[in-house]
Homo-oligomer: A and B are copies of this chain.
């Protein structure tokens, strides 16, 4: 099993876990609701990317292992909800690692379809954030990307770094690791110093 596949499965599991945590916070969730939200959060971004690219079969439709990983993650979240809910820092790190991995793997996949690099960066970002957007729409919340500190923008920046290094014909592992680190770094700095993108100026 190549390392990339393992990382991808780990990202899948983590997103399911984070979706299940959010669903659990809602009032009176039953097992199905939590599982459904965890599932959509996990496979939503990659599905949107694959559908937009016309990349069939979709990753999770072709590979049932992802479903097993998602089910395990959701059972773990539901059983250890109280323990998990306390580990805010750990979760922040995993979440950031998850979106970083998904962004770069999504960007790489888009490049296989010979799209313009700008489109590839958008596809990478979509892979990372669209699962969360769908989770928020389904639970009737304003999508997280409109509330949080620099989040999707970090993904875009990482994708651009990847594309630059790739254009300079860097070794693939170097491209991947550097750009994942860029995303992680931006997220950590943004949260630590409460940085946010400037709001659009306007009169009241």
Contacts and interface: CB of A to CB of B under 8 A. Distances in A.
A6 interface: no
Nearest to A152: B32
B118 A67 contact: yes
A198 B79 CA distance: 13
Contact of A67 (B58, B62, B119, B153): B119
A64 interface: yes
A137 B137 contact: yes
Given A36-B152, A137-B137, A140-B140, A30 B200 contact: yes
A202 B34 CA distance: 13
Interface string A78-105: 1001100000000000000000000000
Interface in A135-151: 137-143, 145-146, 150-151
A189 interface: no
Contact of A29 (B56, B152, B199): B199
A104 to B, nearest CB: 19
Given A36-B152, A61-B115, A152-B36, A82 B202 contact: yes
Interface of A: 24, 26, 28-34, 36, 47, 51-54, 56-58, 60-62, 64, 67, 78, 81-82, 113, 115-116, 118-119, 122, 133, 137-143, 145-146, 150-153, 196-203
